[in-house]
Chain A
Amino acid sequence: MLLLQAVFLPIILAPVVYLVGLRMGKNVGWLAFLIMLYSTGLVLYSGMSNNGSLFTNTRLETYSWNPIGNFGLYLDGLSFPFAAIILILSTTLAVYSMPYMEHRIKEEFHENKKKFSADALNRKMALYYSLYVVYVAGMLGTVLATNLIQFYIFFELMLIPSFFLISEFGYGERAKISMMYFLWTHVGAVSLLAGILTVGYYGGSFNFVEIAESGLPSSIRVWVAIAISFGLLMKLAAVGLHVWLPYAHAESPTPISALLSPAMIGIGAYAFLRIFVFILPSIYQSIVVVITLWGLLTMIYGGLMAYAQDDIKRLLAYSSVSQMGYIIFGMGSLYYLGVTGSVFHYVSHGTGKALLFMAAGSIIMQTGGVRSIRKLGGLGSKLPITGIAAMIGFLAIVGVPPTNGFQSEWMIFAGAFGGALESGSTSKLIIAALALAVTPITAGYALLTMRKVFFGKLPKEFENIKDPSLLMTIPLLFLCALTILLGVFPSVITDGLIPLLQSAFGGMK
């Protein structure tokens, strides 16, 4: 029952959150925090094992759900990192959202010159948090699903609250942008659905473990691969399909950006791995070259675009595109270590990008809404904790030890080299070396942004700003510590993951 509770309790309690929020206003965030904490605890407990290494337990809960198959929740080495990060980030951000959203809602009222009242604030906060918990539950459900249809349902389920969150609380032309975000990802989801239905029909069942890949006739394999990849890569914002991401992530409210960017788009990677590596291995082998090249292109494109940005949130959004490129690249390595690196990179990008968005949010809040890098500068002396958080976030993204970003990066590239050397292909080797050679692009925009924002001269209007309240700084510090801890002790993630992947890839050779 544990995983079932973890997924459904937030959904069931969402109306309660709304009602409580109408009364309590911003403090309903604590209720949301407790719900998230409970779910986190359940997932971590389910993953804990007692054989020396920390999180290698697997857990399966199934319930019959005719005629689609079984409704199941499965926590194993692959889904554990995803689920853990989603929940840890959500829990942290629930606390962070409290002061930030209050500020944002007040700002919105000022913009629209509506009359501000405590009731209106409460209503909006209640709406925010009830949508928030449903959104998190949706994300959690996708990574724990054991059935293709169930997966699809949760996939769409996480789309809807986020759509509302952006359109209600976002910046700029939020109505159009939330509509655009919804349309793009929905088109992708529909393509995914087409692929899923085909697989389920020919494979014999929708349950992951029961699908027989051999049932798929060879003529449609290519189409299935294209349909599913299209859908998932849209979510991952691979280059060409990435257009929605800068808008959505830049204009959504910052705590939601911090969830959208690291947690949600990575679910595309999870689905990719689960479906292709475990269920459809032979199709996977035929598309890896495309995937690798696409990943490389995304890495370069996202990184280069980040240089040209002036808005700090758009820059982080393009950085996410680039980092997803790393993950895609790792997935194409056809080697267990590379895929491990991709999953780990989800984790480290998760903590790192969340840190960066939270720091950006802190800057936006404390400077009164300034997002343009040109107008910022010298903030390091006034916002030290924000600066440290941003630095560690950037280090995680660049891949510098002792952050977890380094562990994920070396594993991705070791996998790329391993896969290339194993297949004896020189061109793959050159691609791998090339990919590693473009990582300084990431270092470039990271350092440049740090310099422009935190060092240099402090503009006069920011003489009196200081670090935000504890409710925002403690989550920042917590994630910093987590980033470094995972960087020094990666076993937490790898112990459960590597044996699983080694066996999966061993079966493929």
Chain B
Amino acid sequence: MSTEINFLIPWLVFAVPILGALLMPVVARAGNKIRDYYAVSLTLISAILCALMLPLAIAGETFHHQVMWIAALDITAGVLADPLSILMSNLVGWLSFSIMIYSLGYMKGEENMTRYWFLMVFFIGSMQLIIFSDNFLQLFFGWEGVGLCSYALISFWNKDLKKDYVGTVGKKAWGIPLAFSPTHAGSKAFLMTRVGDVSFLIGILILFFFSGTFDFVKLSENHSWAVDLAQSGLLIPVAVFIFGGAIGKSAQFPLQEWLPDAMAGPTSVSALIHAATMVKAGVFLIARIGPIFITAVENVATIMPFFEFVAWIGAITAFLAASQAMVSKELKKVLAYSTISQIGYMMLAFGVAGMTSNFIAGYVAGFFHLASHAVFKAGLFMAAGAIIHATHTKYMTDMGGLRTKMPITFVAMTIAAGSLAGIPLLSGFWSKDAILASILDVESSMSLISLYAIASITAVMTAFYSFRMIGMVFFGKPSKYIKKLESSGKHIREAPVLMYAPYVVLAIITVAIGLTGPTVEGFLENSLAHHLEYAVHMEIPEHVFSLNRIAVSTSIIAVLIGGGFSYLFYIGNRMSPDQVITRIPILSKLQSFFENRWYINSLYYIVFINGSLRLSKFIDKYIETGILSKLNTVVPDYSISSSQTGGKFDKYVVDGTATRIANLNLFLSRNIRKLQTGIAEQYVFVFTMGIIALIILLG
């Protein structure tokens, strides 16, 4: 097989969608159908271009191309097509394509579709930009690009009608409402990921100072930066800060609160962005930089705290989110919490990879779970969208008994849910098993036991909520809501082909991967081993695939316990969950605690949002208007009053003097005038007197 590819292909993979999206308003003028097909075909072109690079991945080779970007700083832009990015981009590209097809059916009849298509296509381009970037700066462009599109797509129904709200309007936790309008949810997503991005920036900027570059390849070639960083004690902080970006983007603890509320957006958006692609960007980032960091240090022990941190964040998040999924009443929210939880598993896997001597095991496990989760979660979301469309409700409590009415969806969704739960011979089983197995390789026994325990308990919860979801939606008796719907003439029908075809295909793929699990895992291991060897010069021992007995048995037991309970409650309807809860009071306390999202959301709002607003109002009231404005008006007031005094002075004194002189003149003249009597006699008299006076004087 030829492994030469045209140098343009990686560039075009993201350039075509981004530039094509910009033309969307122009194409839209040609008609709605043409615009729709144009958007979908852009995605198809991008996906095909990704597929063209598969031979490279299979052979384990890499392609790298750069151009000068910011000349003065010696910063280049480039594409790095190695097995990691090629596999990821194919996953993203084809899943995106299938979701675009799904959108054609799901968003039928919606307004503002030009904006929708623009944002979806631009998003896909930005995601591919993240995947193929060869340096942090360029990656950040794609990173923010997906964040922007996510914000805009979550807020898609931006008229903020009550029916578009996520959460139950009226419910509050610690005084903070738990329901959010689409635009609020979008802003929240953007802000939270921004906090993560700030952390990311801090990390890469410090790294830039020490290494002089953002380029991944250069970072893995010359390791002097790691030595300097370790010496100044900044190595772990930098790594953690960069991971902070991943925490934000992938909705891990403590920045996980935006994802459940992102369900305010259309379901196709949730499928694409919040299940399959954007949230995986953080994981991808760790997959990129994890190897770089671990090979850059002389002594693995210096960097191990970072990987421990990653693993623990993953574990805590997985547990946290799964507990909230168990009690959620909204269908999409269950899936959202599930996504957060499963990504936690992936982070756990990558973290564990750095804690063992067998890096590749955790690495492959994480990536495998990333891929299999993307497939079945996208399928789950799309099916959920179809159900919500058909029943016009987002609450599972309003559903029930739908398996007869929507059989195809029922089968596809059950398969996907089963994969999520970890039922053997489905893809999720193999990937989850791989993760559990890699945990068992951890050197420190304390970490091993605690991480393994958390992972296992979470597996139980995962199985529980997966089947609870299936049970509440498809089994049991139809709810009152459905009965009302049916009686008013709106019958619930199976979804149209354009909508169910994508998730049926994904269900089939899930089964296929499940049946060939070991082979797939072996293939991944092969490619990724080559990638690691080439990219970071890591020594990978030959590995023969084997099933770890402990891991397998844990998985199966977890499925049995969790699945067993949910079968009892929801599918077989032997016991009523509400009765159990009322009988055991601690369970009801737990339930409300989970329902209120562990009060984390409320805490953030009270401290940050209300806090900032109050602080700003306080400053405004006391400092700005109180002190400074008063100060501000003193000067002009003073100058105005002094100029008024000057005016008065001018008017009365200066003008007055002139007037008074004139008046004096007048007075004098009036009086002197009186001398001119016109009587000659008097003139003569005076004249004579004058002469006499003169004579006397002179004499």
Contact = CB atoms under 8 A, between A and B. Distances in A.
The reply to whether A and B meet directly (CB within 8 Å) is: yes
B6 interface: no
A448 interface: yes
Given A417-B205, A436-B201, A498-B73, A456 B160 contact: yes
Task: Pick from B137, B232, B616, B617 the residue with the most CB of A within 10 Å.
Answer: B616
B190 A406 contact: no
Contact of B187 (A307, A378, A413, A447): A447
A451 B612 contact: no
B523 interface: no
The 4 closest A-B pairs by CB, nearest first: A498-B72, A307-B616, A308-B620, A304-B616
Interface string A453-482: 011111000000000000000000000000
Interface residues of A, number: 56
Interface string A299-335: 0010011111000000000000000000000000000
A95 B617 CA distance: 38
B191 A305 contact: no
Given A305-B616, A308-B619, 10 more contacts: A53-B71, A243-B631, A307-B616, A400-B144, A400-B148, A410-B137, A436-B201, A447-B187, A456-B181, A494-B70
Interface in A463-508: 490-491, 494-495, 497-499
A410 B469 CA distance: 45
Interface of A: 53, 176, 179-180, 183-184, 243-244, 247, 301, 304-308, 337, 378, 380-381, 395, 398, 400-402, 406, 410, 413-414, 417-418, 421-422, 433, 436-437, 439-441, 443-444, 447-448, 450-451, 454-458, 490-491, 494-495, 497-499
A417 B206 contact: yes
B137 A440 contact: no
Contacts of B616: 304-308
Contact of A455 (B158, B195, B631): B158
A395 B152 CA distance: 13
A233 to B, nearest CB: 15
A490 B208 CA distance: 18
Interface in B50-104: 69-73
Nearest to A301: B619
Nearest to B624: A305
B261 to A, nearest CB: 14
Interface in B194-214: 194-195, 198, 201-202, 205-206, 208-210
B369 interface: no
A395 B148 contact: yes
A contact patch SS: helix
B14 to A, nearest CB: 12
23 contacts: A180-B636, A183-B639, A243-B629, A305-B619, A308-B613, A308-B617, A308-B619, A378-B159, A400-B144, A410-B201, A414-B208, A417-B205, A422-B209, A439-B198, A440-B198, A450-B187, A451-B183, A451-B184, A455-B160, A457-B160, A458-B159, A494-B70, A497-B72
Contacts of A380: 158
A233 B626 CA distance: 22
Contacts of A450: 187
A494 B73 contact: yes
Contacts of A497: 72
B155 interface: yes
Interface string B620-633: 10001000110111
Contacts of B145: 401-402
A117 to B, nearest CB: 32
B635 interface: yes
Given A451-B183, A457-B160, A490 B612 contact: no
Contacts of B198: 436-437, 439-440
Given A183-B635, A395-B148, A440-B191, A491 B628 contact: no
A457 B619 contact: no
A432 B141 CA distance: 22
Contacts of A456: 158-160, 181, 183
B148 A304 contact: no
B226 to A, nearest CB: 15
Task: Pick from B69, B612, B639, B640 the residue with the most CB of A within 10 Å.
Answer: B612
B contact patch SS: helix
Contacts of B137: 410
Given A380-B158, A441-B612, A495 B205 contact: no
Contact of B195 (A378, A401, A440): A440
Interface of B: 69-73, 137, 140-141, 144-145, 147-148, 151, 155, 158-160, 181, 183-184, 187, 190-191, 194-195, 198, 201-202, 205-206, 208-210, 232, 612-613, 615-617, 619-620, 624, 628-629, 631-633, 635-636, 639-640
A244 B155 CA distance: 37
A47 to B, nearest CB: 15
A183 B636 contact: yes
Given A451-B187, A456-B158, A307 B209 contact: no
Nearest to A177: B636
Contacts of B232: 421
A386 B429 CA distance: 51
B697 to A, nearest CB: 68
Given A183-B639, A380-B158, A495-B72, A444 B191 contact: yes
A406 B629 contact: no
A73 to B, nearest CB: 25
Given A401-B145, A448-B187, A180 B70 contact: no
B625 to A, nearest CB: 10
Nearest to A424: B232
B17 to A, nearest CB: 14
A176 B208 contact: no
B49 to A, nearest CB: 21
B209 A499 contact: no
B130 to A, nearest CB: 12
A414 B209 contact: yes
B202 A433 contact: yes
Contacts of B628: 243
Contacts of B633: 180
Contacts of B183: 451, 455-456
A307 B184 contact: no
Contacts of A180: 632-633, 635-636
Contacts of B190: 443, 447
B612 A444 contact: yes
Contacts of A444: 191, 612
A179 to B, nearest CB: 5
Task: Pick from A307, A395, A401, A448 the residue with the most CB of B within 10 Å.
Answer: A401
A18 to B, nearest CB: 29
Contacts of B617: 307-308
Task: Pick from B144, B184, B617 the residue with the most CB of A within 10 Å.
Answer: B144
Contacts of A406: 140-141, 144
Contacts of A414: 205, 208-209
Contacts of A495: 71-72
Given A421-B209, A440-B194, A447-B187, A455 B69 contact: no
Contacts of B639: 179, 183
Contacts of A337: 73
A457 B161 CA distance: 8
B42 to A, nearest CB: 19
Contact of A490 (B70, B615, B635): B70
A245 to B, nearest CB: 11
A462 to B, nearest CB: 14
Given A180-B636, A413-B205, A305 B141 contact: no
A304 B205 contact: no
Contacts of B629: 243
A436 B202 contact: yes
A276 to B, nearest CB: 22
Contacts of B140: 401, 406, 410
Contacts of B151: 447
A443 B72 contact: no
Contacts of B619: 301, 304-305, 308
A433 B200 CA distance: 11
